[in-house]
Amino acid sequence: MIYISGKMTGVKDYNYLKFNAVARNLRAKGHMVCNPAEIEIDTTAMPETQIWQSCMDIYISKLDFCDTIYMLKGWEKSRGAKTELKHAIDVGLVIELET
C-alpha cells in the first residue's frame, strides 16, 4: 500500500485537491492507497495545542500498514511530511518522490 505524504498545514483546503488527485492516479494504476486527506479526524474536542500531534499520531499509525511512502512536491516545507518520511525510513519503507 502507498501512503501519500506532503504539505497540508498552511495550504488552501489542506491541499486535499492535490492529495485526492494523486490518490486517484495511483489507484487507476492498480495501487492500494492510504490518503491522509480521506482520513476523518474529529478535532472539535481537542485543545488547539494538541491537534497537530494527534493528527500525526493517527497518520503514522496508518503509515505502519504501508510498504511505500509517496512524497509530494514541496514535502520539504512540511514538518508533518518530514516526520512521516523519518518514520518511513526508520521502518524501511520504499520512498518514492513525485516528479
Task: Please choose, from the candidates 1, 18, 13, 17, the residue with its C-alpha nearest in 3D space to the C-alpha of residue 74.
Answer: 18
The total domain count for the chain is 1
Read off the pLDDT band of 46 (50, 70, 90).
Answer: confident
Read off the pLDDT band of 11 (50, 70, 90).
Answer: very high
Quote the Cα angle for 67-68-71, to 5°.
155
Domain that residue 6 falls in: 2-97
Identify the CATH number of the domain in which residue 58 sits. Answer: 3.40.50.10400
Cα–Cα dist 79/84, whole Å: 9
Instruction: Indicate the pTM of the whole model.
Output: 0.94
